[in-house]
Amino acid sequence: MEKGSLTVMKRLAQILTTLGILLLVGGWWVGYRGDMALAKKQEAKTVKVRLVEGGMRPSFAPNLAASGGASEGLMAGAGIEVPTVVRSDKEWANRLTIEQFRVGRTHGTERAFCGVFHDNKKNGVYFCAGCGLPLFKSDHKFDSGTGWPSFFQPFAEENIGETTDNSYGMSRTEVHCVRCGTHLGHVFPDGPKPTGLRYCINSAVLNFQESGPEPKTATLLLGAGCFWGVQAAFDELPGVTKTEVGYSGGWTKNPTYKEVCGDGTGHAEVVKVEYDPAKVSTEKVLEYFFKIHDPTTLNRQGPDVGDQYRSAIYFTRPEQESAARKVIAKLTEAKKFSRPIVTQVDLAGPYAEAEDYHQKYHAKHGGGCSVPR
């Protein structure tokens, strides 16, 4: 072979090698940029709050009214650092009703005597409609005659933020959820003893959970990668009564699989897990969840890359958040993973059931995903 031909072939090999290296680096960079983008989104500030300690009062527990209130089944736990909740207006609009958005995100006020909770006399705890943070207890509620729910103290002082409101030619103290910034109302120094305060709150921005026994069925929305394998795994867990795959955590209403895969909806592939708390606790469900996927990789599981494959726990009851954060803390302390857990923990938003051909996919077609156990 001529010397010139050898030189050309050698040069061609060098070019191909360089192109291969560039492709590898390019692929890594795209994945890195995707991971960093999600990391930046999740890199929210942290605030110290108090979550619900334990679950609802069990049905066999004695009446707690004589010892200070029937809602004592839901107590404030120790202070814990949690990320602030930051959402775009599009995300808030998908999660909230028109009235909730008007009041909570634009500092509106509902009409007096029209809110659903102004005369609520049931025992329980009031939570932020935006992020699920406990805000007030029924034990601290009183009839102020103003037409708005009134409380003489919050569930925990750490959970309420305050700002000065100088609107309408007066100076008032505005109060909001310290984690997500949802506007709640105002606090005035004309309340009853022992605090002398009156938290005047809009019903629209509250959710209420009544004290009592745990429900016969509880629900979690769990994201752990491709939902085919995750559903198959949870179908094997004793105590789970029903599973269904779908989409949640984003802003697009009624998304399709194609749209979710297009990375423009914000939704994750999730499994709607219904379970019997009498047979399997929330902690056990979540410990199993962490066994069947890698919670340390941002917006990916193995070869599946995209924010739809993120690790996520969307709770439907506030005590489930406490359980999730306790399990994460326990796994972190035990150093079960070599990298930090990046699982998103958030109040469940709108959920859309996936197309029928995705339901029980492995049961219908056989095979299975590689799921760590």
Which of these, 372, 81, 354, lies nearest to 221 by C-alpha position?
354
Residues identified as active-site: 200, 226
Which of these, 171, 277, 296, lies nearest to 216 by C-alpha position?
277
Answer for the pair 239, 286: CB distance below 8 angstroms, yes or no: no
Beta strands in the chain (DSSP E): 46-53, 75-83, 124-128, 134-137, 141-142, 150-151, 160-165, 172-177, 183-188, 198-201, 206-210, 218-224, 240-248, 268-275, 300-301, 304-305, 311-315, 344-347, 351-353
Burial class (CB in 10 A: 0-12, 13-18, 19+), 10: exposed
Which of these, 141, 115, 126, 123, lies nearest to 177 by C-alpha position?
126
Radius of gyration of the chain (CA): 25
Strand 240-248, strand 351-353: pairing: antiparallel
Find the helix or strand (DSSP H, E) in which 287 lies: helix 282-291
